[in-house]
Structure 1
Amino acid sequence: MTNRRVAVIGTGLVPFGKHEDTGLEELGITAAEAALAEAGCEPGRIGAVFSSNVLGGGGAGQRILAGVGVFGVPVVNVENACASGTTAVHLARLAIESGRHDVVLVVGAEKMTGKFQGGITLDRTDRPTLLGLTMPAIYALNAQRYAHDTGAALDDFAEVSVKNRAAGARNPHAMFRQPLTREEVLGSRPVADPLTLLQCCANADGAAALVLAAEHVVESRHDPVWLLGSGLASGTATGPKTEFGTSRPSALAAGQAYAAAGLTAADIDFAEVHDAFTIGEITSVEALGLASQGKALAAVVAGEFSPGGRVPVNASGGLLAKGHPVGATGVGQVVELTTQLRGVAGERQVGGARIGLSHTVGGGVATLDAIASGVVIAGV
Structure 2
Amino acid sequence: MDTASQIVIRPAQPDGDLAPLRAQVRAFLADTVGDRPPQKRAQSWSGYDPAFSLALGAKGWIGMTWPKAFGGQERSMLERYVVLEELLAAGAPVGGHWVAERQSGPLLMRYADPEVAHEIVPRITRGEVRFCIGMSEPDSGSDLASIRTRGDRVDGGWVVNGTKLWTSNAHRSHYMIALVRTDRSADDKHKGLSQLLIDMRSEGLQVRPIRNLAGEEHFNEVVFDNVFVPDRMVIGEPGQGWAQVTAELTFERSGPERYLSSYALLAEMVDHADADDARHAVELGYLVAELSNLRQMSRGIAAMLHRGENPQLAAANVKDLGALFEQRIPEVAHQLFGHELRPDGSPFVATHCHLTQTVPSFSLRGGTREILRGIIARGLGVR
TM-score normalised over the length of structure 1: 0.28
Bigger radius of gyration: 2
Question: Whose strand proportion is higher, 1 or 2?
Answer: 1
Higher relative contact order (CA 8 A, sep 6+): 1
In terms of fraction of residues, the more helix-rich structure is 2
TM-score scaled by length of structure 2: 0.28
